[in-house]
Structure 1
Amino acid sequence: MPNLKDVTYRLITSTKELEIALRSLEQSPILGLDCETTGLDPYIHTIQLIQIAAPNQPVILIDLPQIAPCDRPLLQQFLSRPALKITHNGKFDWQCLTKAGLQPSAPFFDTQLAYRVLTAGLKKSLSLQTLAQKLLNIELDKTQQVSDWSKPLTSQQLQYAAMDAAILLELYPILVKKLERSHLLKIAQLEFHCMPVVAQMELNGMLLDLSRWQTLGAKLESDRDAALHQVRELRVAGNAQMSLLPEMTDAINPNSPQQVLAALQAAGIPVNSTNQKELVPLAKQFPVIQALLDYRHLSKITATFADSLPKHIHLVTGRIHPTYYQLGARSGRFSCRNPPLQTIPRDAAARTCFVAAPGHQIVRADYSQIELRIVARLSGDARMQRAYRKGEDLHRLTATLVTGKAIADVSEEDRRLAKAINFGLIYGMGAAKLQSYAETKYGVTLSLEQAKAFRKRFFEAYAPETEWHETIKRSYIRGIKESRTLAGRRRRWADKPRLAELLNHPVQGLNADITKLALVKLNKVLAETGAKLICTVHDEILLECPVAEAKHISCLLHRCMVAAARKFLHPIPVFMDVKISTSWGDDET
């Protein structure tokens, strides 16, 4: 077990020294790899030091600015070797090395991703300091991390840098053993394969049409102000106070739940709370409630996106480069910040502002009803599986089963109701929650009795779903605190989980497994093309490519996404909508 003092290193400041050092590492099958940089932006900041650790050897510290650019291919060649590269948050190192013309090649083992795979669902720090302390009982001193790496390097900085690389070699066998024991090595490897794909996607970024966005922002603000004007017609209850400005004293503050509730009640509207669930069913009846809901929605959008999105346009690239977290959600799905693209409104007005570069097009695809197909596979429901194999619309089928109508008589509203039932009940919603979900998400009004009746009919029509739910319920009653996907991805809970979470993980987690496998497959075939991956949101994948390649790229995207899903869902077929357009929206060319 190393301690902070006995990690030896060699500082490399010339090409000659670099040649000798790399020769000494040539036979090593595993390498610890880390970089120290002048900052966190790969487009602006540069690498000062590259640390390479190999078993039973001093850590090689390469002072990169001292190595002439013409001599760097030597290092690039070395990093292209098939040795296993062990990193911690390797996405960042990969990006910095790639921008420096030193892109490392697979295979990778990322200690941060490995630890997150092991602890998915639990609140755990993923820092190298935490891993060193938990797994090696070493207190890692990280004070040098925030020191100035752009000045001549001190011996403390060099010692710190050497330790950061050396410790990766110590963490690796412990994490491998833990992953093997937990049957999580395959899932971890999927994440490792995904890491450079995600790193490149972040570097690629997306192009925002700023003038289109500003026009949309101005419209959203004017809609918000119009809704606010309607809301302001509500008056503060019982305010008879005289004032020089009476119109100001009795206008309510729409952001104060207490004032809004008092004003609604004073206006004779039967509400006990101002939360969404209670207001939505009354919106059709009382226009002021619709205005209040619109105001809230539009305020949130303008605050989150209209004002902040342009601030994320990069000064160097002119594009937006969000930060993706491969294991950001407990289910194993991606999350995304700065900006949070997942929460950008789905409507075409917002999405058409994300455009392809001149001479390029956006090719995008998302899986059709993937979660329902996963449920059909997990529950073994023959009726559902048969419908999918015959290419039937499952929402229409459910609509006939719960309403009793013939398939030809199913209206669009019936289909929307069936969507609410399908997507709500697979996660164990009760009747009251289904009633609210149908109204909020699909605009379908149900009485509680109707919701109960439809729920009963759904589980009678799809009996294997009932059995699948019952199996999970039995685990829930026994106090089980973990759940796995078909691919083996695990989610854990520190306390007793909610039943809905236990039902949710095998479905959403497998959705994540499938999407990530599709990205890995795609990465292999895109290398030969001019296409690049620019975004993934839930089960949707976006590529940008030259116009001439768009048709070919759409076929590749389709093939990779089908192959990834087939691995787990066979014999249930999967479908996706592949679109070629000039933007993320629906302006097809």
Structure 2
Amino acid sequence: MKLTAKSIIRRYSCTRSRKDSPGSFYSWAETQVMMQYNQLARFVEINNSSFLNYPYQLIDNPADLETALEPFIAAKIIGIDCETSEGIDPYQAKIRLVQLAIPHHPVIIIDLAAIDSSDLSPLRQLLKGNALKVGHNLKFEWMMLAQAGLKPSRPFFDTYLAYRVLTAGLKCSLSLEAAAAQLLNVKLDKKLQTSDWSGELTTAQLQYAAIDAAIVLPLRTNLKRQLKKALLWSTALLEFACLPAVAQMELNGMWLDKQQWQLLKEQLEAQQKALERELSSLQIPSPNKQICLLPEFTNSINLRSPKQVLAALQAQGIPVSSTNTQALIPLVNEYPIIQALLDYRSLSTRISTFAEGLVQHVHPVTERIHPNWFQIGAKSGRFSCREPNLQNVPRNPATRQCFKPASGHVLLKADYSQIELRIMAKVSGDMRMIAAYSKGEDLHKLTASLVLGKSLSEINSSERQLGKIINFGLIYGMGAKKFKNMAQAEHGRVLSLEEASQFRKRFFESYAGIAEFHKHIRRSWLQGIRESRTLGGRRRLWSKDSQPLLNEMLNNPIQGLSADITKLALAKLFAPLNRTGARLICVIHDEILLECPIAEVEPVKALLKCSMVEAGDKFLTPIPCEVEIQMIESWGG
């Protein structure tokens, strides 16, 4: 009877899974499998549905492991995937299977439940080797393998990150299923992804596992070609280099002082009650009685009802047609009740989102918070995180002081100094701004002197603060009205619309390079261009069905390059940091936070600064890159 690839693989897998059968069938079966596999590989190029019956070899005893891995030792590219039992939490779940794929060879499926960790040395050495490790969302595999003592080493090619780089800005699924369908025309059945991997494995589960490891190899080939064609290869390489730092950061987590956090929660609730009493004076007439704004005093008005709140405000003679924050801010000085309402809203959000919600994310095993970090979470290329979103933790000291280092450690908080302004100087070529940075001048004082018509020596601290507000408010093309509202809402600086208009006019007269850069972006915007690039080549796209906002096209080259710089710093920092006792625990845009043993503060500070400055210099030269590092007892200072 003629042997088929499927029948040989079945015989081959069954025979190799028996612990007492390393005999002569191995070489015969492998020869037969490779003959059939080569035919199958040629068929794959014509009909991708052949992935539904991909050849694999199950390894469930240490005697077979070393022999099975021999063909992988010389491989330059290895596809990697894992299947876990008991969920996907790296501190509670366990790896059941590790699947490895190389071109023109059956997938190796290693059953870790059947092999003692002391017998995994061949696998451990392979993963530490120089072969390119390919996978989809390798952050997960990296964390799981690291927890199992099988931490893989660079280089990496993450098809998830690659697909994200290619499609940044567009709404599309980044799942392996979606990528395979879009790029390879392969329809994957992912129903078994959530099946029980802890018991006896079925043929369907093993076939599923094999496909997940094998499919990433042709995905890589396709994505690499498209990335190079789109001039995004360097951006993808940067993301791959940054990947292990992000995975390690997620494993490290941050420590929250729960006792101090509870006291903060009680203080916030007390402040909320005080605001409720203040707001109780806000009433509207009713045919029968006075209706109070807060349900604590009557049950007629719901504070969360914009319609009812609007009616209450209008009944007090306040000229407002919306309860939107931007509509209320200009009225704060004339109507103090508006500030109380805005404060009440802010407190309510802090209490529900953070004071009550954050402690629920403290891990039962580590007693730390481990958010899910997304390396390209924002369309610009910036990080984002969820469950919880630490990037949105209020910046006030009382809140951030609850985040502390482990015993015997301190926090090192490193910030790039005025990174977005330095990037604007670089991308716009503004000569005045470049000269100021080259001479080490205070750019905020310079801007204040230019818009106020004073000499630098005459600028006081309040005027310097105004210059800072102007710099960060106007580099993204903010209009006078929005600039006025931003200055008041975020900085407490009250400006008339005329003052805001004058400051805006003088700013762009003073920095002609920035004005010209804005004109160039505006022309592209008016022409319907739906693509934006950073100096590093990172791209953001807009779909044909959506009109990009002008401020988005102005923001992207700046914030996208800031992301490039931060990620390059993390990639440079990863290996040398692992040789110390310090660990990366958080990244908030251009801020990097480390937890460091007290005895290692000075060398780690030097290492951190060197990595960050080198990353900045790569993109900003000749504009100097400056980094400020603080040693602090808590995140709040």
Structure 2 length normalisation: TM-score? Answer: 0.90
Distance 1:400 1:205 in 2: 44
1:163 equivalent in structure 2: 211
CA displacement 1:414-472 (0-9 Å, x = unmatched): 33332222112111111111111111111111222221111111111111111111111
Deviation at 1:248, TM superposition (A): 4.4
Matched, 1:182 2:233: no
Aligned 1:21-170 pairs, distance under 5 A: 21-38=68-85, 39-170=87-218
CA displacement 1:246-281 (0-9 Å, x = unmatched): 984476422221222211121122222211112122
The letter for the 2-side match of 1:304 is: T
Deviation at 1:285, TM superposition (A): 2.7
More divergent stretch after superposition (552-561 vs 252-261): 252-261
Deviation at 1:175, TM superposition (A): 0.5
Matched, 1:573 2:624: yes
1:8 equivalent in structure 2: 55
Distance 2:608 2:554 in 1: 30
Of 504, 511, 522, the residue aligned with 2:555 is 504
Of 390, 396, 399, the residue aligned with 2:448 is 399
Distance 1:457 1:93 in 2: 53
CA displacement 1:557-580 (0-9 Å, x = unmatched): 111111100111111112222011
Distance 1:83 1:449 in 2: 63
Q: Who wins on radius of gyration, i.e. which is larger?
A: 2
Q: Is the 8 A contact 2:275 2:344 kept in 1?
A: yes
Aligned 1:39-438 pairs, distance under 5 A: 39-241=87-289, 248-249=297-298, 252-438=301-487
The letter for the 2-side match of 1:348 is: P
Distance 2:461 2:238 in 1: 40
CA displacement 1:146-200 (0-9 Å, x = unmatched): 1111111110100000011111111111100000000111100110111111000
Distance 1:76 1:507 in 2: 41
2:573 equivalent in structure 1: 522
More divergent stretch after superposition (284-293 vs 165-174): 284-293
Of 423, 435, 439, the residue aligned with 2:488 is 439
Distance 2:466 2:597 in 1: 41
Q: Is the 8 A contact 2:56 2:109 kept in 1?
A: yes
CA displacement 1:8-67 (0-9 Å, x = unmatched): 000001011111110122221111100000111010010010000111111000011111
Deviation at 1:107, TM superposition (A): 0.7
1:4 aligns to what SS in structure 2? helix
Q: Which runs of 5+ in 1 are unaligned?
A: none
2:517 equivalent in structure 1: 468
2:14 equivalent in structure 1: none
1:11 aligns to what SS in structure 2? strand
2:377 aligns to what SS in structure 1? coil
Q: Is the 8 A contact 2:410 2:631 kept in 1?
A: yes
Distance 1:360 1:248 in 2: 49
Distance 1:563 1:247 in 2: 57
2:283 aligns to what SS in structure 1? coil
Question: % of aligned pairs identical?
Answer: 55
Distance 1:202 1:6 in 2: 36
Deviation at 1:240, TM superposition (A): 2.5
Q: Is the 8 A contact 2:53 2:207 kept in 1?
A: no
Distance 1:256 1:410 in 2: 46
Q: Is the 8 A contact 1:11 1:61 kept in 2?
A: yes
Question: Where do 4+ consecutive residues of structure 1 move more than 6 Å?
Answer: none
Q: Is the 8 A contact 2:371 2:390 kept in 1?
A: yes
Structure 1 length normalisation: TM-score? Answer: 0.97
2:178 aligns to what SS in structure 1? helix
TM-aligned CA distance change 1:270 to 1:141, over 3 Å: same
Q: Is the 8 A contact 1:213 1:306 kept in 2?
A: yes
More divergent stretch after superposition (3-12 vs 308-317): 3-12
Distance 1:41 1:432 in 2: 47
Q: Is the 8 A contact 1:236 1:259 kept in 2?
A: no
Deviation at 1:473, TM superposition (A): 1.3
The letter for the 2-side match of 1:213 is: W
More divergent stretch after superposition (136-145 vs 440-449): 440-449
Distance 1:308 1:247 in 2: 24
Distance 2:483 2:203 in 1: 63
Distance 2:608 2:195 in 1: 44
Q: Is the 8 A contact 1:233 1:251 kept in 2?
A: no
Q: Is the 8 A contact 1:334 1:538 kept in 2?
A: yes
1:428 aligns to what SS in structure 2? coil
Distance 2:459 2:270 in 1: 38
2:589 equivalent in structure 1: 538
CA displacement 1:277-308 (0-9 Å, x = unmatched): 12122223322111101100000011110001
The letter for the 1-side match of 2:107 is: V
More divergent stretch after superposition (222-231 vs 334-343): 222-231
Q: Is the 8 A contact 1:236 1:250 kept in 2?
A: no
More divergent stretch after superposition (411-420 vs 155-164): 411-420
Q: Is the 8 A contact 2:587 2:593 kept in 1?
A: yes
The letter for the 1-side match of 2:278 is: Q
The letter for the 1-side match of 2:72 is: L
Distance 2:405 2:338 in 1: 39
Q: Which runs of 5+ in 2 are unaligned?
A: 1-43
2:535 equivalent in structure 1: 486
Distance 1:191 1:232 in 2: 53
Distance 2:425 2:539 in 1: 20
The letter for the 2-side match of 1:569 is: L
Distance 1:557 1:239 in 2: 67
RMSD of aligned C-alpha atoms?
1.6
